[in-house]
Structures are given as structure tokens and as C-alpha cells.
């Protein structure tokens, strides 16, 4: 169940009061096991749990690459638990992951290698303003209840590939990354767009997944900007209307020839 219905009192101007049924996004704990060992308890909005589990493993370094994934499935006896089987023996340190919380000390102590500068992976500047309308059009949960974040992948033509939503910003990113793994999509020529700010943890997740471009309709943080520059990620902020801010590694954005 992705949403929960509640009865509330609505107060308006001039003292008008009414009772309405409203939807709020559900928040439940997902137990993630890797090779039979507890890896994380992730607070999330139920749905797309296998994608979330795979994406979490990849963006948090429990999977070095897609080829290490052997299987991922819900536990037979528990809908709020996913088992992931991977090749090798990853170092597992169980974590509790809130919907807007990342272990900063661990995050900055395990930075991924920088992205390669592939001159063939670029976007036309005129393609970028077409991304937010596609993003908004596919935010079904946001339209129903609000209170959720979104993340989406776009191809090099600026066309939407997949969008996922969750009460946690990081969960939404993990879901689209998990989707790409399950559908054998290459992430090294796609752009990731998020509804929230491009924080340092978002930058690191994008780089770990080998995504070369991160865009947001909001702002970044100082550390997010610094890490994007350091790790070879093209960072775009305030992508709204017909304008945007191009922060780092500008070579991936080009103008159309006259």
C-alpha cells in the first residue's frame, strides 16, 4: 500500500471548516539482506522494493558492478524484506537509513573513483529545459498525495526513460538505478534528475552508478558542488523554465551548430 487515507479538518479563511479524506504517502521499514546477512533497514514508501534493494547495493558499494548481481527477490514469508544474492563477499555493516539521512562520515571516507571524460557523451543545451515537464507529467504519487520525492533517468536526447518516487530522496534514486540494472540499461550515457537538492550524498550516488550528469530543479550544497567537480560529474541546478545553472564539467553540455 503506497498511500494511507486519513480524515482531517480543513480550516479556511472566514472561519469555514470542513472534514475531508486525504492521502498521505505510506512509510514502512524494508529489511535488506545481502547474502543472508542484514545489510540495512531502509525507511521507504512501499513499492518497487526489489529495484530499491538492487540500487541501494550498487550505489552504496555492496555491488561493484552489475555482473555481481546473482538474484534479488522478496522473502517468501515477509513482504517488507528483500534478499539480494551477490558474487563475492562484500563488507557489510548494517545501517538504519532514514528517508532523508545518510551516514556522512562513512560517505566521505569511501569516495568512488572519478568519472571518465567521454567526449561522446554530451547533451544539447536546448534539450535540458524539456526534461522538467516530462518529470512532472510522470509524478503520479506527487499528484495523488504530495509529500514524495522523485528521481528520473533521461537519455542523451533528453527523453524520459524511467521515473520513480518515494518519501526518501535517496530511495527514489536507488529505485531508478535498480530499474536500469534489471533492464540492462547503460547508465554511463544517461542523465539523472532529482526533485530535491543535489546534496553531497546525491552526487556520490550518481558517481557510484557511473551516471555522468546530475540535474535538479532545486539547488546544490557547497560540498555537493565540490564533490561533483572533484569526481568528474556534470552538475546542473535550478533547471526551470528555459534556464539552468551549469556548475561543473561544462564539456558535457554543448550548443547546436547554426
162-177 pLDDT, tens per residue? 999 998 888 999 999 9
Indicate the length of the chain as a whole number. Answer: 258
What are the tens digits of pLDDT across the range 62-82? Answer: 998 888 999 999 886 668 899
Q: Which of 57, 75, 101, 247 is catalytic?
A: 101
- Note if 75 is an active site residue: no
**28-109, what's its fold?**
Ubiquitin-like (UB roll) (3.10.20)
Residue 104: predicted pLDDT: 45
CA geometry: angle 96, 98, 99, nearest 5 deg: 150
Q: Looking at the domain that runs over 123-254, which CATH code has it been given?
A: 3.40.140.10
User: Does the global pTM surpass 0.75?
Assistant: yes
DSSP label of 220: B
Residue spans of the domains in the chain: they are 28-109, 123-254
Q: Which residues are within 8 A (CB) of 249 and not within 5 positions of it... i.e. 6 or more apart?
A: 117, 228, 229, 232, 233, 234, 235
Do the first three CATH levels of 28-109 and 123-254 match, i.e. the same topology? no
Amino acid at each position: 500500500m503506497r498511500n494511507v487515507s486519513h480524515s482531517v479538518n480543513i480550516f479556511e479563511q472566514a472561519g469555514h471548516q470542513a472534514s475531508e479524506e486525504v492521502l498521505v504517502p505510506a512509510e514502512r521499514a524494508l529489511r535488506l539482506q545481502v547474502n543472508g546477512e542484514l545489510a540495512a533497514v531502509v525507511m521507504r514508501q512501499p513499492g518497487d522494493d526489489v529495484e530499491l534493494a538492487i540500487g541501494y547495493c550498487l550505489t552504496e558499494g555492496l555491488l561493484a558492478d552489475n555482473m555481481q548481481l546473482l538474484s534479488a527477490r522478496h522473502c517468501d514469508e515477509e513482504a517488507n524484506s528483500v534478499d539480494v544474492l551477490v558474487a563475492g563477499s562484500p563488507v557489510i555493516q548494517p545501517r538504519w537509513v532514514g528517508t532523508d539521512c545518510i551516514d556522512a562520515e562513512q560517505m566521505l571516507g569511501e569516495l568512488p573513483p572519478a568519472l571518465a571524460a567521454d567526449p561522446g557523451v554530451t547533451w544539447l543545451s536546448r534539450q535540458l529545459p524539456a526534461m522538467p515537464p516530462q518529470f512532472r507529467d510522470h509524478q503520479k504519487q506527487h499528484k495523488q498525495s504530495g509529500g514524495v520525492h522523485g528521481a528520473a533517468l533521461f537519455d542523451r536526447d533528453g527523453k524520459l526513460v524511467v521515473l520513480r518516487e518515494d518519501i526518501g530522496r535517496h530511495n527514489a534514486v536507488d529505485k531508478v538505478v535498480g530499474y536500469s540494472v534489471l533492464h540492462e540499461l547503460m547508465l554511463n550515457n544517461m542523465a539523472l534528475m532529482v526533485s530535491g537538492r543535489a546534496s553531497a550524498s546525491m552526487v556520490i550516488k550518481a558517481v557510484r552508478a557511473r551516471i555522468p550528469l546530475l540535474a535538479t530543479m532545486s539547488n546544490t550544497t557547497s560540498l555537493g558542488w565540490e564533490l561533483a567537480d572533484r569526481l568528474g560529474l556534470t552538475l546542473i541546478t535550478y533547471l526551470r523554465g528555459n534556464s539552468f545553472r551549469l556548475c561543473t564539467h561544462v564539456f558535457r553540455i554543448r550548443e547546436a551548430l547554426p
